[in-house]
Structure 1
């Protein structure tokens, strides 16, 4: 019996030659197979063939116009057109593609009446009662980079807090605070958040309006950080992500990003800019 081909053989092909095309996992991600990281796992598990040969080692470079690429025995579909939506999320809206069985809460996809909305997913998460800027896309690689703390893409929030908040109190947040993370009802660890940028927009005896910029996206992070500092958050809105600002889009409304905005997002996420 002929042994299974376990990887790229440089003596048989030139998939290691970067000048021949694009990284295999990027081609798969652009075709809508999975996120770039998910496509790398498919390759490592031997689920991808190029010109009939199983590829399990990276980097590998391909030319989609020339090479025959298969995933799980099926030819690679043509590249998917990426779509980028900016939504001004209202309160009492679930940041998900669908609700849990038996529940009937409104989701962000219910607000986006677009022919391709079934392929969209939210980039990161806003709490049920948090409002503001949310991106929906079918671009898995960009979504991963916008949310992964490694790339440090800034997200700016405006918070309305009960009572007067002083600059001295805010200095305690600058270097980050220790938050305990939970998953499925269990504690999975505690760690300090990354440094935070902040400013006090308005303060009086009854309330304070703050703006905070974070560069990661832990679960309910801004609310939890402010609560840890003893602040009672009444309203929370995301007003910016990277170069995008929440201007000219009414609450509950949406629009497609311009080509220039997409390029700016890709630069913020340290991604290649297509020619």
Structure 2
């Protein structure tokens, strides 16, 4: 069989599969479409073979160069949208408690003129809340509160010494001169800053801080035989409120007592015990261990009277062998060693101020 020739006289080496089979019933629809398209192209003066060799035609760029067109289309393709399944830039913490946007009419924070105070995002960064960029996002999302009002304005200047700043409802302490430390008071030490009898006291542990000019208050007291958590701060207002029973800041103790404590003891202590200076009760009571004629119990209360835990447990027939305070409000002793100091973290400080409405 002779090889068919092209219009220009050269042999056509296209696959024979493209030609209609003699055994077929006739031309297929695809073959008829291809040939009719070829005739239409030829009528315009350009053959299909010319187009495949890149000859110019009045058709679209897509027909002239499919690969190039696809590449250009890929470049112009819109950027994919952020998937809702991906995590946000910031954690979805609870919003600030007071959902009011500050304004001049609402009596919010007084805007300071240029050059006075510090920008809010800088204050948050210095307080260790977040970087300045992230602090700006916190402000934009309405999670920052100044003097009781939500602030969304970027670059707002505030007085760090006077302004009350909260993030997600938690107070952020930005005054650099304030000190908040946790002490694990050892057994046998006095809860005083000095002792006339020369006995070891808390003041001996913080002597260097006192010498540097820091005036520290201890939050509550622990008798000499009681060990554990004692807070020290130079914020007198905070110390006073933490100790005052009206703010009901809880203290948690672990007590080793004589005898095996039965279930009824907890009910007695929660209902109230009449002591020589009036009735007293605990907020919660739990037996942790029993054995060898002793018990380890957990006592939580907000009373602050002298020797209150020892007197309550003695009143129900279980004198204290060892007593350790492990928590004051949101602050925990953890694994801190006896006689050591630990500077409180930002979250701990914020929760302390929140607990006493400061």
Which TM class, normalised by the smaller chain length? 0.5 to 0.7
Render the CA deviation track for 1:97-117: whole Å, top value 9, x for unaligned: 1113xx110111212354346
* 2:298 match: secondary structure: strand
Instruction: Report deviation, 1:196.
Output: 2.9
Aligned ranges for residues 186-265 of structure 1 at < 5 Å? 190-265=277-352
2:251 paired with 1:155: yes
Q: Return the alpha-carbon distance in structure 1 between the equivalents of residues 301 and 188 of structure 2.
A: 23
TM-score (norm 1): 0.64
* 2:209 match: secondary structure: coil
Render the CA deviation track for 1:163-193: whole Å, top value 9, x for unaligned: 211111232111221222xxxxxxxxx3211
May I ask how many residue pairs the two structures share in their alignment?
A: 190
Aligned ranges for residues 6-21 of structure 1 at < 5 Å? none
Aligned ranges for residues 25-40 of structure 1 at < 5 Å? none
Q: Which has the larger radius of gyration?
A: 2
- Greater relative contact order structure (CA < 8 Å, 6+ sep): 1
Match of 2:203 in 1: 109
* 1:226 match: secondary structure: helix
Instruction: Report deviation, 1:269.
Output: 1.8
* More helix per residue: 2
Render the CA deviation track for 1:65-121: whole Å, top value 9, x for unaligned: 9xxxxxxxxxxxxx8821111000100100011113xx1101112123543465112
* 2:310 match: secondary structure: helix
Aligned ranges for residues 117-136 of structure 1 at < 5 Å? 118-136=214-232
Render the CA deviation track for 1:192-234: whole Å, top value 9, x for unaligned: 1144311001012421000000112111100011111111210
2:252 paired with 1:165: no
Q: Is the 8 A contact 1:88 1:133 kept in 2?
A: yes
Greater mean alpha carbon deviation, residues 121-130 or residues 195-204: 195-204
2:188 paired with 1:92: yes
Structure 1 stretches lacking a partner, 5+ long: 1-17, 22-62, 66-78, 181-189
Q: Return the alpha-carbon distance in structure 2 between the equivalents of residues 235 and 246 of structure 1.
A: 16
Greater mean alpha carbon deviation, residues 169-178 or residues 208-217: 169-178
Q: Is the 8 A contact 1:176 1:193 kept in 2?
A: yes
Instruction: Report deviation, 1:264.
Output: 1.1
Stretches of 4+ aligned residues off by more than 4 angstroms: 18-21
Distance change in 2, residues 1:113/1:104 (3 Å): closer
* 1:104 match: secondary structure: coil
User: What's the Cα RMSD here?
Assistant: 2.4
* More strand per residue: 1
Q: Is the 8 A contact 2:256 2:322 kept in 1?
A: yes
